[in-house]
Amino acid sequence: MPENVQSEQQSSQRPWWQFKPGQSGNPAGKQSVAAHRATVLAKAHKLAEPLGGFENLNAIEQTLIERAADLALTRPRRHDERVRTANIVNRILRDVLRRHGPVPAKAGSDLGPSLSSLIRQARP
């Protein structure tokens, strides 16, 4: 009898990373759809800052930026999926930047010449 009590106490005192079969490893649960949408929109607004803000983009560019933000927030398990996701996000942002162009720097800025002007000068 004392052995059964001892084995029950050991099983109830498992370390926090060892869950019982059928018990979730994420006690907080899945993020709600509204919370996920808010996270994606916050990331999209952050990605659109160099373009003058999310509101200054047209509908197509906003959709592309939102998709890039959604992809940037995912965490693929396999290495090749991570590389593909990073490449897709890079292409989306590059294409939107090419179409829309960066916001011109204010006159008198101490930041120096913009990146696009430096690239134009470097090209033959």
Q: What is the pLDDT of residues 5-22, one digit of tens each?
A: 555 555 556 676 676 777
The pLDDT of residue 66 is above 70: yes
pTM above 0.75, yes or no: no
Distances from the Cα of 28 to the Cα of 32, 37, 39, angstroms: 11, 18, 17
Q: What is the mean pLDDT of residues 117-124?
A: 58
Q: What is the pLDDT of residues 31-44, one digit of tens each?
A: 899 999 999 999 99
- Contacts made by residues 86-89, CB under 8 angstroms, sequence distance 24+: none
Type and span of the H or E element at 73 = helix 59-73
pLDDT at 14: 65
Domain residue spans in the chain? 31-103
